[in-house]
Amino acid sequence: MIEDPWFYFAAVPAVLIVGISKGGFAAGFGILGVPLMALVISPLQAAAILLPILLVMDIVGLWAYRRKFDTPNLRILIPAAAIGIFIGWMTASSVREEHVALIVGLVALAFAADFWTGQRRDGVPGRSVRKGGFWGAVAGFTSFVAHAGGPPFQVYMLPQRLDKTMYVGTSVVFFWAVNLIKVPPYLALGQFDATNLMTALVLMPLAPIGIMAGVRLHHLIPEEPFYKLCYAGVTLVGLKLVYDALTSLFA
């Protein structure tokens, strides 16, 4: 188990933020979990510690949003995400996290800018096997590398303007499936050692606290402000990812 107190100063708020986001409030901010923990430990170790916690959060989220998800979208997204995860596994030794973070950040910013300038407010795109397959695969890949599948998922899902509870429920089921699929590759890469698993166990009680706080906040916010908050989250996360990637690449 990690004993450095500075790690827990970063990890406790990181886990709570991830839980609140997965619970349906401030969607997009959950991507900050790995970067916050990476202030103290390596990004790969942060991702390995977070994965068991995410699986517990997923169980709580599945209960909170049971029967409130869009099955046709999931049928498109989940198989595509499995392909993206496989690609991430096969390229794990050659792909730098900075490059993934930069690409995801730029996509998120372009997507958010399109919304804020009003381009996406006329008409509501529906489901698309081609678009859903592409963004689902990207979400699987970026989730495998750095638990950063949120922005690609949102690029495909947010423009559909689903009922906010249906949108969050679909997100919960999608990332539950993604996180389960990631377990065997993480095991194969040796990321679940005793230190990481024990540290995850210590942080585990925060998982239901964060999730239920997010569920509560989700139901307090009307739909229009909810979607604006989602896009604001995507914007801030995109800025964070691009900044981190460029800082690392040019350090």
In tens, the pLDDT along 135-154 reads 999 999 988 877 778 888 98
pLDDT band at 3 (very low <50, low <70, confident <90, very high): confident
Q: Which residues contact 128 (CB under 8 A, 6 or more apart)?
A: 76
Q: What is the pLDDT of residue 221?
A: 77
Q: Higher confidence at residue 60 or residue 180?
A: 180
Which residue do the tokens 């210590």 mark? Answer: 202
Q: What's the domain range around 136? A: 5-249
Per cent of the chain over pLDDT 90 is 30
The structure tokens listed for 136 are 């689902």
List the one residue out of 51, 30, 7, 15 whose CA is nearest residue 210: 15
Q: What is the pLDDT of residue 29?
A: 66
In this structure, is the dihedral angle defined by the CA atoms of residues 226, 231, 234 and 235, taken in order, positive or negative? negative
Contact 223, 19 (CB under 8 A): no
pLDDT band at 79 (very low <50, low <70, confident <90, very high): very high
Tell me the whole-structure pTM to 2 decimals.
0.78
List the one residue out of 180, 185, 156, 184 whose CA is nearest residue 170: 156
Q: What is the DSSP letter of 41?
A: S
C-alpha triplet 79, 37, 247: angle, nearest 5°: 90
One-letter identity of residue 113: A
SS3 55: helix
What is the domain count for the chain?
1
pLDDT, one tens digit per residue, over 36-59 is 787 788 777 888 899 999 999 889
Q: How far apart are CA 107 and CA 112, in angstroms?
A: 9
Q: Does residue 161 have a pLDDT over 80?
A: yes
Instruction: Detail the DSSP E strand segments found in 61-216.
Output: none
